[in-house]
């Protein structure tokens, strides 16, 4: 297992278009998180899944955002009708609940640019 994988690494889209990102977590990890990072800031929590259940959403996650994790494996994050303010790095992380270490492992992120 090579860690958390995110695709694509970069995405440029026109305002108003829909985009979808994919995250493949570490295989035995049951929790999957999505974060967003803008320039000069730390990552901000968007939502998380435990197995296939989406258990919490941040107020940052507007109605234009939707995330899924079918079968508790990979996850997708879709942004509809993109706006310039959506431009950011979208990070996925996974962790194993109940393990000794509770740190989350991050993917390399998807950088979204809305023009």
**Binding residues for other proteins restricted to 31-70, rule: CB under 8 A:** 31, 33, 35, 40-45, 48, 55-56
Q: Does 102 bind other proteins (CB under 8 A)?
A: yes
94 interacts with other proteins by CB under 8 A: no
Residues 61, 12: Cα–Cα separation, whole Å: 20
CA distance 115 to 98: 42
Least separation in angstroms between residue 70's CB and other proteins is 21
Using the CB atoms, write b or e for 14-32: b if 16+ within 10 Å.
eeeeebebebbbbeebbbb
Q: Minimum Å distance from CB 50 to other proteins?
A: 9
| Rounded-to-integer distance, Cα 43 and Cα 19, Å | 20
Binding of other proteins at residue 101 (CB under 8 A)? Answer: yes
- List interacting residues with other proteins (CB under 8 A): 4, 6, 31, 33, 35, 40-45, 48, 55-56, 91, 93, 95, 97, 101-109
């Amino acid at each position: 297992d090579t860690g958390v994988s995110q695709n694509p690494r970069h995405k440029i889209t026109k305002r108003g278009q829909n985009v979808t990102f994919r995250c493949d977590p570490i295989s035995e990890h049951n929790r999957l998180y999505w974060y967003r990072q803008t320039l000069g800031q730390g990552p901000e929590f968007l939502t998380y899944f435990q197995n296939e259940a989406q258990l919490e959403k941040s107020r940052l996650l507007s109605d234009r955002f939707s995330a899924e994790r079918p079968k508790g494996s990979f996850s997708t994050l879709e942004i509809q009708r993109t706006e310039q303010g959506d431009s950011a790095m979208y990070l996925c992380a996974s962790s194993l609940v109940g393990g000794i270490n509770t740190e989350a492992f991050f993917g390399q992120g998807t950088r979204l640019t809305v023009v």
